[in-house]
Amino acid sequence: MMLTLSCVRFCSGLTTFRTAAHVRPLHSVSGITVAQIDEEVAKLLELKAQLGGDDGKNQFVLKTPKGTRDYNPKQMAIREKVFNTIIGCFKRHGAETIDTPVFELKETLTGKYGEDSKLIYDLKDQGGELLSLRYDLTVPFARYLAMNKITNIKRYHIAKVYRRDNPAMTRGRYREFYQCDFDIAGQYDAMIPDAECLKIVHEILSALELGDFRIKVNDRRILDGMFAVCGVPDDKFRTICSTVDKLDKMSWEDVKKEMVVEKGLSEEAADQIGQYVSMQGGMDLAERLLQDPKMSQSKQACAGLSDIKLLFSYLQLFQVVFDLSLARGLDYYTGVIYEAVLTQAGVAPVANDTQNGAEENVSVGSVAGGGRYDGLVGMFDPKGRKVPCVGVSIGIERIFSIMEQKAEALAEKVRTTEVQVMVASAQKNLLEERLRLVTELWNAGVKAEVMYKKNPKLLSQLQHCEEAGIPLVAILGEQELKDGVVKLRVVATREEVDVSRADVISEIKRRTSEA
Amino acid sequence: MMLTLSCVRFCSGLTTFRTAAHVRPLHSVSGITVAQIDEEVAKLLELKAQLGGDDGKNQFVLKTPKGTRDYNPKQMAIREKVFNTIIGCFKRHGAETIDTPVFELKETLTGKYGEDSKLIYDLKDQGGELLSLRYDLTVPFARYLAMNKITNIKRYHIAKVYRRDNPAMTRGRYREFYQCDFDIAGQYDAMIPDAECLKIVHEILSALELGDFRIKVNDRRILDGMFAVCGVPDDKFRTICSTVDKLDKMSWEDVKKEMVVEKGLSEEAADQIGQYVSMQGGMDLAERLLQDPKMSQSKQACAGLSDIKLLFSYLQLFQVVFDLSLARGLDYYTGVIYEAVLTQAGVAPVANDTQNGAEENVSVGSVAGGGRYDGLVGMFDPKGRKVPCVGVSIGIERIFSIMEQKAEALAEKVRTTEVQVMVASAQKNLLEERLRLVTELWNAGVKAEVMYKKNPKLLSQLQHCEEAGIPLVAILGEQELKDGVVKLRVVATREEVDVSRADVISEIKRRTSEA
């Protein structure tokens, strides 16, 4: 296990998975003129839409809205497979699930996303409440907990969220996209739920066979403490942090130059930071930093490091054997923070589905992230009562893209149905016989299909099986009817065998349950 | 099998399941003043939201938007069970699935819903395209087919749709609600896919054990033909139809009176309609009407009746043995139409989740509806090329309500997790042992849980099992550790047995796979 301080990402703002939660006024309009222009534009566009409607049916633009896509059956099959793996893991860990509306009261979202509030989709005021589409699942979750006075729950929530961002769809960045969150809320003993979140990330990424990955771990308190003992003034934490975060793409020399020249940090402080962020290690590094004469001066850092030690010990019990190195941090988080990145060369170029403007701040290959956020639920409680939470968000859109690319690269046949047997006929006038047999199969719980033609050609029925990946064909013909049998054909081998009509259902059930 | 003409519902406008698709201009604004008022209101509300945001965290209104709800874990467990049954049926019939964005270009929806266009949620114009939330899944499906030039597909789509209607949430009517659609698009031989849709309705309603139900079948052409031969003027079809539709709640005398006195139909025509709508029957009635001197004058009616006969013959092969009586019709449909209603007394009051204003036109107890709509896809095609479609929509929200009420009435314990075993400790200082054992269980694919406390009390661990319905507890204690065993406790019987630590995983797997 490795803990690296090389890649400090504290103030990187907003991310793929979770978003900053500092209370701030809404981005105010610069003048009444802008608003008026907007309204005029709206009026004209509305008028345009009305005219379009009157023009009749040939005026339709056949497209989905910018930044969105349909999922075709093949994409849905991949999506279902990924969801089944992930939900299977969540259920194995005893999670419940909830759902919330796709829109929230505008004021529920107000002040939760800082500058990114401008990316929120608002609904038109049609009289009544002002509504906005949800921007993530975490704020609705906090609202749900506060509203229902729930103080402990282990829940997952998989649903679409909406961001009026600049889409980059070829790189998996959409305006409508799935989030896939697992969170544990409640007052528990330190680091036990936190460790389970990491165990879950490990299980899911392993099960999905996405290749090698690395999970980076850090703690907001370690970062805050490190900046303090290195002599970074409080008001420069954020800006220095966002510079250090560039170590992914810039050399240390350039990072240092930016801190000193552009941001006015003392060279001494910069050098001290440089020492820490180059460190890598595991439990041993946490130990070493606890003994470090400077770091040990920060109570905060020590608390964070002790918790990281505890986390490591639990992860050992969980048989989680990945390298740990330093994850980015977020304003949002109050304790442990983590991020999982894919490290396999072939996978990285799949791109960056950060879903927000701060793309350059998020690792290429990032597929999961999370941490502890003990303050968010309290923002919704009239008395500010806190509900400690820790959670993880799986970067499901990225994973879809990878799986889709993989299927394509391997020229893998993705089945879009689960049909086990096709009921076919070899001659004309056998529709009734086909319908009878397919009914028996359906009633026996077998996934079966029949062509919606009175007299389909045998060849076209067999071709359909090849195309749709249906493994078995039950062929009815005049001779078979006379002999009281059905011909079973294995599509892959073209092997055929006659089975008595009375036994055909059980024979098909036997063969399909084997598969 | 019974075909009833007693309950003609042709012009009832919009319904729970499908919606009218006549091209019409948008409901135009009555004057610029209204628009200005709207804008002023919008501005003020916007300002209000901004002020609310600035006032800080204690100003939040903790609620979901009007007409929407959260699903709690218990509701989600019921929802999952219902979905699994329905999706299982769709898959058994070889359906693929697709997904479309939650919003569409406004103009995609324009002109598809007649007067109900006013119920569409528009997004605020924030620059860029004008968008609306989807109102149903059928128009997006037609858009998808036309856009991708797909001429045949068998697909299901389960997703939320949005209607700015007057909510009646206690009766299961929401502004955000699920639709659950199965459709077969393509040029096929008559009535084969239509019959499969009905087979599916029958399978799903039977599997969900909702009690007795009745499926009513009709054909738009029979209705049109009947009105014509009874002497209803073309321009009165709709209004007469909406009156006849009231036979559910009004006596024939009152219905006749409305037709003659209010709507100016001749008494003779009214009496003739009265004869037809009182008829009930099955294949025999279709035969009889084909021979009927009046009805047989309408080519349309004869075509519809012949198809109904064919449908009945296929349904017999499908072993579908319900009563058939006359379903309501919709503008939208071009051929066969059907509706399934629950007939069991206890279930009817569950109410009417029609999701639109025409509530009074929809049967209490309606849980599925559909029919053939051969014209819709063509509305999206620049050259108007048609793709024949037939489909069914399961009234899933109604079904959720019934299942929730049933669970409550039976004081049924609804499990919200699937945890099979709880790893507990009898004494202090056994956290590490618990984490080790639960890890082995997770890695073996067993759904297992552990309390996030260092030293939880045995009683509270056992209580959690009772509350959460966890059937098995693996108890670690000092004595057990010494003896090299784990105590397995069956929660229901309180039976306990010691199993050697080496065998405990396989013993738990054996017991949980039996369950």
Nearest to B174 by CA among B361, B369, B353: B353
Helix (H, G, I), strand (E, B) or coil at B436: helix
Residue A425: is its pLDDT beyond 80?
yes
Q: What is the pLDDT of residues B51-87, one digit of tens each?
A: 444 444 445 679 999 999 999 999 999 999 999 999 9
Residue pLDDT, tens place only, B244-290 = 877 767 888 999 999 999 999 999 999 999 888 877 777 888 899 99
Measured between beta carbons, which residues in chain A are less than 8 angstroms from residue B432?
Answer: 317
Do B373 and B145 contact (CB within 8 A), yes or no? no
Q: In the prediction, which pLDDT does A32 show?
A: 47
Of residues A42 and B358, the one with the higher pLDDT is A42
Q: Are residues B49 and A442, on separate chains, in Cβ contact within 8 Å? A: no
Per-residue pLDDT at A132: 97
Count A/B contacts: CB-CB distance under 8 Å. 316
pLDDT of residue B47: 52
Least Cα distance to A155 among A177, A134, A180 occurs for A180
Is residue B126 within 8 angstroms of chain A, CB to CB? yes
Q: Is B23 on the interface with A (CB under 8 A)?
A: yes
B253 near A CB under 8 A: no
* Number of Cβ within a 10 Å radius of residue B443: 13
A290, exposed or middle or buried, with CB in 10 Å at 0-12, 13-18, 19+? Answer: middle
Task: Round to whole Å and give the CA distance between A376 and B47.
Answer: 25
B chain contacts of residue A103, beta-carbon cutoff 8 Å: 65, 68, 176
Q: Grade residue B88 by pLDDT with cuts at 50, 70 and 90.
A: very high
Secondary structure of B286-325 in HEC code, one letter for each residue:
HHHHHHCCCHHHCHHHHHHHHHHHHHHHHHHHCCCCCCEE
Given an 8 Å threshold on Cβ–Cβ distance, is B68 in contact with A103?
Answer: yes
In chain B, residues with a C-beta closer than 8 Å to the C-beta of A66 are 128-129
A131, B65: Cβ pair inside 8 Å? yes
For chain A positions 447-476, those within 8 Å of chain B (CB to CB) are 447-449, 452-454, 468
Residue B113 — pLDDT band, cuts 50, 70, 90? confident
Report the residue from A318, A419, A445 with minimal CB separation from B435.
Answer: A318
Alpha-carbon dihedral sign for residues A314, A316, A322, A327:
positive
| Cβ pair A102:B128 closer than 8 A | no
The band of A2, judged by pLDDT with boundaries at 50, 70 and 90, is very low
Secondary structure in 3-state letters for A256-277: HHHHHHHCCCCHHHHHHHHHHH
The whole-angstrom distance between A235's CA and the closest CA on chain B is 22
Confidence at B41, pLDDT banded by 50, 70, 90: low
Distance from CA of A37 to the nearest CA of B (A): 11
Nearest to B94 among A41, A153, A419 (CB): A419
| CB–CB contact A436 B317 (8 Å) | yes
**pLDDT of the residue at A353:** 40
Give the burial class of A359: count Cβ atoms within 10 A of its Cβ; 0-12 exposed, 13-18 middle, 19 or more buried.
Answer: buried
Contacts A452 to B, Cβ<8 Å: 184, 186, 188-189, 192-193, 196
Q: Any chain A CB within 8 A of the CB of B113?
A: no
Closest to B56 (Cα-Cα) out of A374, A388, A22: A22
pLDDT confidence of residue A515? 57
CA pair distance A169, B364, nearest whole angstrom:
45
Contact B188/A28, CB-based, under 8 Å? no
Give pLDDT, residue B358: 34
| A3 or A156: which leads in pLDDT | A156
Which of A38, A93, A124 is closest, CB to CB, to B123? A124
pLDDT at position A344, please? 73
Cα–Cα dist B422/B435, whole Å: 11
Of all residues in chain B, the one with the smallest CA distance to A442 is: B92
Note whether A417 contacts B91, CB cutoff 8 Å: yes
> Chain A partners of B467 at a C-beta cutoff of 8 Å?
none
Look up residue B249 and give its two tokens: 């709640």
Mean pLDDT over B2-6 rounds to: 36
- Return residues 193-212 of B near A (CB < 8 Å): 193, 196, 199, 203
Q: Do A103 and B65 touch (CB under 8 A)?
A: yes
Nearest to A43 among B35, B60, B98 (CB): B35
pLDDT on residue A351: 41
Both tokens of B246, joined, read 């009231």
- pLDDT on residue B363: 46
Query: Do the Cβ atoms of B395 and B17 come closer than 8 Å?
Result: yes
Within 13 Å of residue B30, how many CA atoms lie on the same side as its CB?
A: 3
Task: Tell me if chain A has a CB within 8 Å of the CB of B267.
Answer: no
pLDDT attached to residue B328: 54
Using alpha carbons, select from A450, A266, A16 the residue that is nearest to residue B189: A450
pLDDT of A6 higher than 60? no
**Model confidence pLDDT, tens digit, residues A301-345:** 999 999 999 999 999 888 876 555 554 555 678 899 888 888 875
Q: Which residue has tokens 């209603």?
A: B341
At residue B459, the pLDDT reads 96
Minimal Cα–Cα distance from B40 to chain A, Å?
Answer: 10
* A65–B129 CB contact, under 8 Å: yes
CA B27 to chain CA centroid, Å, is 28
Tokens representing residue A396 in the block = 């499901």
**Alpha carbon distance A121, B151 (integer Å):** 34
**ipTM, two decimals:** 0.82
Confidence class of residue B46 from pLDDT cuts 50, 70 and 90? low
Least confident of A121-125, A164-168, B373-377, B385-389: A164-168
pLDDT tens digits, one per residue of A191-203: 999 999 999 999 9
Taking the C-alpha atoms of residue B444 and residue A106, their distance in angstroms, rounded to an integer, is 45
pLDDT band of A19, cuts 50, 70, 90: very low
Of A60, A193, A314, the CB nearest to B107: A60
Q: How many CB atoms lie within 10 A of CB A510?
A: 10
pLDDT score for B220 = 85
CA-based nearest distance A113→chain B, Å: 12
Q: Model confidence at A38, in pLDDT bands (50, 70, 90)?
A: low
For the whole model, what pTM was predicted? 0.83
Whole-number pLDDT of residue A331: 63
Tokens of B435: 């984490």
Is the Cβ–Cβ distance between A386 and A375 less than 8 Å?
yes
**Residue A237 clears pLDDT 90, i.e. is over it:** no
Mutate to test the interface with A, among B442, B461, B476 (most CBs of A within 10 A): B442
Asked whether the beta carbons of residue A128 and residue B454 sit closer than 8 angstroms, the reply is: no
Which residues of chain A have a CB within 8 Å of the CB of B100? 64, 70-71
Q: Is A493 exposed, middle or buried (0-12, 13-18, 19+ CB in 10 A)?
A: exposed
Q: What average pLDDT score do residues A451-468 get?
A: 96
> CA A333, A339, A344: angle at the middle one, nearest 5?
170
- Judge: A53–B127 Cβ closer than 8 Å, yes or no: no
Q: Does A252 touch chain B (CB under 8 A)?
A: no
> Cβ separation of A448 and B106 shorter than 8 Å?
no
pLDDT at B44: 55
B99 CA: distance to closest CA in chain A (Å)? 5
Contacts of B72 in chain A (CB under 8 A): 98, 148
